Structure 1
């Protein structure tokens, strides 16, 4: 039987899905050496959106984070996932900026890139792919899955042919909404495999509907040998399947692997303790939800929508907004519900519902999307919507717009003539220098992470920062402690 290999998502996509990116460098650093010896094929460890969050939330330098983790991770290749058709997620930019980014990724320890276009337009990422290959990175191109009348098996087969012709080293089927079913796997995977010309196909799904573990096993039976998984505490829910579960089942099917069970247990125990100490959730299986297949909105966007409607006293209109999102998506030609398109669709749907009239106000991003600003969608934009947009003054501004291709000299003129290449890229990602200055002011990244070893101290720390109760009382045997807040 074939060997089954695993890509670990614990240090990137898994904690993004379950913890909102709240994994500090110290938390990752302390367990990194164990992750390195666990037997993974590669580690999904970085993304530009993570760079920005690290800077703004933790005041940590993401390049320094990579260099620190490379001290502990010596043999397993590190991977970055990024939009390769737009350097800044909500502000498209192409050209030399990607050449510089690929070179600095390699220089800072990354060895693999997963370059994505949100519409699966390979022509829009070809330039970045060539830059990545020239820099020495392995290029693993995603085919982003979606369920619409236009996203057929043949659609994905053609995208696979395009990726192979572009020079990808491997491909992976990326299912951000957890929409794959075992039945669709049985038709889709063979359709893609026939067009790979011998390249490896990986599978990356989320457990949003609870079916991802079953889909992984069906894919294995069909010859897919590389699976994206997370350590058990950071698996399931809106994250990936657990490595423990998939490993147990593929072994049961007779496949073999190089994974080290002892290391996997240490990793799982570590993150279970870290989650408990930090007050963060651990993943749990979700019940099947048929509605997910209708709206296809990612879990993070759904939770943000719910919170925002609650904040403005409109929580009771949640279902209306979700139903309107289905209609808006159809109007726009079925964009895949992945960043940034899912945010655009839901924002416009929210306006349509709250204002009581469809497209009474249209956000700039929807105008740009309909005008092809973000590339061609798989379906056609609704003609009535196009007619509505053509009457808007802003539409004329975007009619002949092209993605900017600034030179590095031009970017330095805007963001800093004397800064290093690494800092220039961070300033561009953050759209300015204020966050970068605050990051520098915070000093070097701390690598000591005590909490998994000292749960009592973590408990005291967590209670001390809460508004309620006014005190906490701890007693064990002859020892007792009463901790209260000091009120000035």
Structure 2
């Protein structure tokens, strides 16, 4: 979701308050993230992620081969053997055909990602999830509901596993024909997905301002959420004992 001119502002701002190296990782659903990486590089980012050309783009990372070509002659150029990388790319282009059934379904980049905000790493999983539930013909509605759910949840940071929770709720609403108003009106009688209950219970942590109170009451149905760290409620583990038990259970013999 990071756009080029936003990266140009963000990297220096982070550098002012963080001593650690800034490592920028992005997927390329919008097909413009090479520009974002370049602006970040010019703003002195320490590390950027890219992917071999034949495995890059769309819900993967930006094109490594192209980024290397872009950087030729730039003061921060890193020397790579581009001809060799192109040969590797040709090999993996053929290998990729074997895994065609697992592709995301996207044929071209789309700025729609700035509307629904589905992370690239999730998009390629969400579509098969919808297909498995018989919702392939309603995938556009799933994407719209993803955006609705994100706002309902308080515009949360969407990374694994929080992004999956938003997706689960979007699929739940789509499969049951529910709007946001329906959820707020009927929530007391709805059986929400377990992942959604876990999120609002606090098992994945807390947002800065907490979760929306009215929706939280409907989802938790009187159960009180945690307000501290999730691991505060986990039983202690003796790793030495557990590892010994693991070795015994999964011995090579």
Alignment correspondent of 2:41: 220
TM-score relative to the length of structure 1: 0.43
Alignment correspondent of 2:234: 403
Alignment correspondent of 2:2: 180
TM-score relative to the length of structure 2: 0.78
Alignment correspondent of 1:236: 57
Alignment correspondent of 1:298: 119
| CA-to-aligned-CA distance 1:351-378 (integer Å, 9 cap, x gap) | 2333344241212322221232211214
- 1 or 2, which has the higher strand percentage? 1
8 Å CA contact 1:368, 1:398 repeated in 2: no
8 Å CA contact 2:197, 2:219 repeated in 1: yes
1:216 to partner: Cα distance: 0.9
Gaps of 5+ in 2: none
1:322 aligns with 2:150: no
Alignment of 1:404-419 (within 5 A): 404-408=235-239, 411-412=242-243, 417=245, 419=247
1:317 to partner: Cα distance: 2.9
8 Å CA contact 1:207, 1:286 repeated in 2: no
CA distance in 1, matches of 2:246, 2:214: 51
8 Å CA contact 1:207, 1:285 repeated in 2: no
The partner residue of 2:198 within 359, 363, 368 is: 368
Gaps of 5+ in 1: 1-178, 421-432, 442-488
Alignment correspondent of 1:346: 167
Say which is worse superposed, 179-188 or 352-361, in terms of deviation: 352-361
Find the residue that maps to 1:200 and give its secondary structure.
Answer: coil
CA distance in 1, matches of 2:52, 2:96: 12
Alignment correspondent of 1:331: 152
The verdict on how the C-alpha distance between 1:239 and 1:304 changes in structure 2, with shifts beyond 3 A counting, is: closer
Find the residue that maps to 1:205 and give its secondary structure.
Answer: coil
The verdict on how the C-alpha distance between 1:288 and 1:385 changes in structure 2, with shifts beyond 3 A counting, is: same
Find the residue that maps to 2:110 and give its secondary structure.
Answer: coil
Find the residue that maps to 1:417 and give its secondary structure.
Answer: helix
Alignment correspondent of 1:288: 110
CA distance in 2, matches of 1:279, 1:214: 29
Alignment of 1:440-459 (within 5 A): none
Higher relative contact order (CA 8 A, sep 6+): 1
Find the residue that maps to 1:229 and give its secondary structure.
Answer: coil
The verdict on how the C-alpha distance between 1:209 and 1:403 changes in structure 2, with shifts beyond 3 A counting, is: farther
8 Å CA contact 2:206, 2:227 repeated in 1: no
1:397 to partner: Cα distance: 8.7
The verdict on how the C-alpha distance between 1:242 and 1:398 changes in structure 2, with shifts beyond 3 A counting, is: same
Find the residue that maps to 1:274 and give its secondary structure.
Answer: helix
Alignment of 1:27-38 (within 5 A): none
The partner residue of 1:263 within 84, 109, 113 is: 84
1:409 to partner: Cα distance: 5.0
8 Å CA contact 2:202, 2:225 repeated in 1: no
CA distance in 2, matches of 1:335, 1:309: 22
- 1 or 2, which has the higher helix percentage? 2
Alignment of 1:102-251 (within 5 A): 179-197=1-19, 199-251=20-72
Question: Paired residues, what number?
Answer: 239
CA distance in 2, matches of 1:389, 1:202: 36
CA distance in 2, matches of 1:390, 1:323: 25
The verdict on how the C-alpha distance between 1:333 and 1:405 changes in structure 2, with shifts beyond 3 A counting, is: farther
1:224 to partner: Cα distance: 2.0
1:253 aligns with 2:74: yes
* Structure with greater Cα Rg: 1
The verdict on how the C-alpha distance between 1:361 and 1:244 changes in structure 2, with shifts beyond 3 A counting, is: same
1:210 to partner: Cα distance: 1.0
The verdict on how the C-alpha distance between 1:366 and 1:267 changes in structure 2, with shifts beyond 3 A counting, is: same
